[in-house]
Amino acid sequence: MFASIHPTTEHLFFSSDMSLSLLRSTDQGETWDPIANPIPGTAYYVAGDPKEPYTLYMNQQGETTRASGIWKSTDNGETWMQIYQSEEFGISRSQSGVVDPDNNEVIYWTAADMGVKRSNNGGKSWEDVSLGLPKEKIKHNYYHCHALEIDHNSLVDERLIYYPTNLGLYRMQEPDSTWELIKELPQCTCIDVEVCDGDVIYVAFHDHGLFRSIDGGKTFFKSRKDWMVKSLLVS
């Protein structure tokens, strides 16, 4: 299952492991509406377009190969169209995708082989951008959601992308498209990374708590707000 939030409308999306189970809330979780794709399959992640309030992208694993791939909605999930047919994004509760906030033709998505795919044309075609990732060692688990994060503070042509894994936090800078492990941080299961305004970045680890950067990821230090991570794990 997964839960995601649209970066513009803040609408919530949730899916379980069962087919036809994609749900949407437009009132911060008070009520939910089914918006399942009419073509049978299971949604593994929904990513919202920061520039288009009602545009969504979804990775679906269909009951048939033909129904699998990347789907797009321009009406907040009411209707969907398949824009890329493939099973290369795989079946996993640890899938994620993210749309570039300045150039929404650029989309990043985690792949079935634990690598990362990039589209430069709004999801119509994809290329592998996994150089530097030890894909054979990256594993999915309950504490790690593979939630890709874009540093919206970085320049468009030098965009920074973060990829939390069970090995630690990886970072890639365009246009080099090569991933490097941030060795200053613990090299173990990274739960999540969140980029905030003002070059502030938070990184959470299952066994090591919360780390923070105030210089755009150049340096990190242990945060005093470890209780936030512990409370999330307990809940």
Using DSSP's 3-state secondary structure scheme, residue 59 falls into: strand
CA 47/CA 34 separation, integer angstroms:
17
CA 164/CA 216 separation, integer angstroms:
16
Q: Write the DSSP assignment of 142-208 as a string of letters.
A: TTB----EEETTS-GGG-EEEEEETTEEEEEETTTTEEEE-TTS-SS-EEEEEE-GGG-EEEEETTT
CA 44/CA 50 separation, integer angstroms:
20
Looking at residue 4, its pLDDT comes to: 87
Nearest to 92 by CA among 60, 66, 122: 60
Put simply, whether the predicted model's pTM sits higher than 0.75 gets the answer yes
Beta-carbon-side half-sphere exposure of residue 74 (alpha carbons within 13 Å): 4
| Structural contact between residues 46 and 13, judged by C-beta atoms closer than 8 angstroms | yes
pLDDT one-digit tens code per residue, 58-85: 998 877 778 889 999 999 999 999 999 9
**Count of CB atoms within 10 A of residue 66's CB?**
11
pLDDT one-digit tens code per residue, 18-37: 555 788 999 989 999 888 77
Cβ burial of 78 (10 Å; 0-12, 13-18, 19+) is exposed
Q: Per-residue pLDDT for 216 more than 70? A: yes
Rounded mean pLDDT of 110-134?
Answer: 95
The secondary structure of residue 231, as a DSSP letter, is H
Rounded mean pLDDT of 161-183?
Answer: 95
Q: Strand 81-85 relative to strand 97-99: parallel, antiparallel, unpaired?
A: unpaired
